[in-house]
Chain A
Amino acid sequence: MRNHARIGFVLLLTPLVLWLSLLIIIPHIDMLLISLRERISFGVYDTSLAQYEKALTEPLYLRTFWRTAIMSILATGITLLIAFPVAYYIAKMAKGRLQQVLFLLCLIPFYVSELVRTFGWMILLRETGLISNLLQWVGLADQPVEMLYNDSAMMVGLVYTSMLFMVVPLVTTLESLDDSVIEAGYDLGGNGLSVLREIIIPHAMPGIVSGSIVVFMLSLGNYLTPTMLGGKDSLWFTEMIYNQFIVRSNWELGATFGFMLLLLSSVIVWGMLRLTGRTLQETMG
């Protein structure tokens, strides 16, 4: 019997270890090693921090890095602000069938690829697009308006793309809040604002944290939306990685950028978990 358990354990452990080591851990170590190389001449490399030095001194790289970070945080905040009332409505105001239907409606846009969603925004926002035409028709504009290729358009796309990943965890945590707890808050003299501040938001914190982490990660790692909706001169960090790897074949610098992005996301996720005293297992698992 004990022997059996041992064999079963090894059989179950093997795929996990193979997956994690061959596809996650070793590739990232390899990427780290590549980022620490400097090409001396063809096929000859030296270990150095030259790539990081380059990445940290070139203003364009640095600017893009921080821009990506700040815009991602902004997108996360906006998504949270828009999603929270909707999630609350679905979890606590809507009852029975309506609740189910609204929840399913929230999911539907995300059964289609991000590409299609982005394409939809392009049709809406571009110079010949629907909104431009609408504005001219109403009389608010007297010539076609280009709303694409700027930061606001990109922000609209980022928020749209991540919305589901904020709404679902919020709905789940808010649903677990017993109605009678909210009623008790009112019964003891609370009003809408104080109940929201002292009862609903503290209760929803786990959902807020896990939603925010996922949305932040998705924004940070997004390539399509910034490329298609963003301006020509406002690069996203993922675009720089792509350019180094695919366009310029400078893998050393590309790997460096990749590591910087990984570091940034780890720091922010770690910070968010620290701030709320939660672990990754609780938040993601």
Chain B
Amino acid sequence: MTPDLECAELAKRFGTTTAVDNVSFSVPPGSFFSILGPSGCGKTTIMRMIAGFLEPTSGDIRIKGGSVLNTPPNKRPVNMVFQHLALFPMMTIAENIGYGLRRNKVPKDQIAHKVDEALERIGLPGIGHRKVDELSGGQKQRVAIARCMVLEPDVLLLDEPLGALDLKLREHMKVELKALQAAFDTTFVYITHDQSEALVMSDQIAVMNQGRFEQVGTAQDLYYRPDTPFVAGFIGEANRWKGRIERVEGDALQLRTDSGLAMRATAVNELSTGDTAEIFVRPETIRLAAAPTALATFDNQLRCTVTSILFNGAASRVLVQDNVGETLEVTLPQSGEFAALKRGDTVHIGWGAAQATCFRESV
């Protein structure tokens, strides 16, 4: 099947800085594709090139198999939900949604009908006559999507559209966006720096850093099987160390961190004895126990002192310190077992070699 959107060797340079560095990817029809990265990584540049507001330095952009490089933005079969939505403040909601249809010379009665239908679909029937500034943040969001969707674009681009919303509404809109995408059955390309938005909604996620894609995969791929130290550090939380490899047994490694902590870990890429490496261990993979006997099955075991409890409901953590002075972050189970834990208590922690991911140190 032809992908809805395909970028080949796409690059954009501004003067001597390279914003996008030979990025290639394709998005299958009907899927939710996210580009996730810190601000300034080049994700907005990619999106603006797809929309037609920036010309690529090299490479190609194909939509449904055809190159759109020579198509001006107002003729491209992609539409965009802007970061601050860019609803037209001088028009009513109905005029906003009907704007693109008017441009396509759709007859008036059909426009009215389609606008009503779109409002129905986003769950806001009967608000067509209202002004833009009479709507709430979430409503504006939905109108901005409806304004694009009435044009039935091949690809809908969304540029961090949830950024301006407050936390509660953002959580709600994540679910709703996913539902809208399923309802419209259109390819969404979503840009964000917020990993939770990307992880919750996307079928595929590209993690972007300094103009390149570090890894493209499902949320599970990125979380469980990061390809690069950047992905391991960017997605989710991690205790991270630098260390030296002491022994190699296939994929399993014996190493010692710079601070002196000995550990068994698993290599992602080829490593040999004496190499320096970066090690990542997620707080939620570390098991907390009152006695060492409960940890017998783990490759790595430590006796530690609690230095701090960071209570945050389900996401609560404890900071513990081992005898060489290394501080680790460990998820606090909410099963009640450790409800009485306090500062100064002695605890035992353990984690498997498979949960300690190890990369050759990036230069």
- A–B touching in complex (CB under 8 Å): yes
B282 on the A face (CB < 8 A) = no
The prevalent SS among residues of A at the interface is helix
Contact among B82, B86, B103, B147 with A194 in the assembled complex (CB-CB below 8 Å): B103
Q: Does B148 touch A at the CB level, under 8 Å?
A: yes
Q: Select which of B53, B90, B148 is within 8 A of A183 by beta carbon.
A: B53
Contact A188–B148 (Cβ < 8 Å): yes
When distances are taken between beta carbons in the complex, the residues of chain A under 8 Å from B90 are 198-199, 202-203
Q: How far is the CA of A186 from the CA of B102 in the complex (A)?
A: 13
Nearest CB of chain A from residue B264's CB, rounded to whole Å: 52
Partner of A199, one of B83, B88, B104: B88
Give the most central of B91, B103, B151: most A CB within 10 Å.
Answer: B103
- For residue A193, give the distance in angstroms from its CB to the closest CB of chain B: 11
> Which has the most chain B C-beta neighbours within 10 Å: A181, A183, A189, A191?
A189
B100 within 8 A of A: yes
Q: Are the C-beta atoms of B103 and A178 separated by less than 8 Å?
A: no
- How far apart sit A237 and B226, CA to CA, in the bound complex (Å)? 82
Most chain B beta carbons < 10 A, residue from A178, A181, A187, A189: A187
CB–CB A183/B103 < 8 A = no
CB of B220 within 8 Å of the partner chain: no
> Is residue B208 within 8 Å, beta carbon to beta carbon, of the partner chain?
no
**Least Cβ distance of A242 to chain B in Å?**
44
A202's closest neighbor in chain B, by CB? B90
B100 touches A188 (CB 8 A): yes
Which residues of B, 70-90, contact A by the 8 Å Cβ criterion?
72-76, 78-80, 82-84, 86-90
A189 in contact with B83 given A183-B53, A202-B90, A203-B89 (CB within 8 Å): no
Q: B-side interface residues toward A, CB under 8 Å?
A: 51-53, 72-76, 78-80, 82-84, 86-91, 99-100, 102-104, 147-148, 151
Given contacts A178-B86, A185-B99, A187-B76, 13 further A-B contacts (CB under 8 A): A180-B82, A180-B86, A181-B88, A183-B51, A187-B78, A188-B100, A189-B103, A189-B104, A190-B99, A191-B103, A199-B90, A202-B91, A203-B89
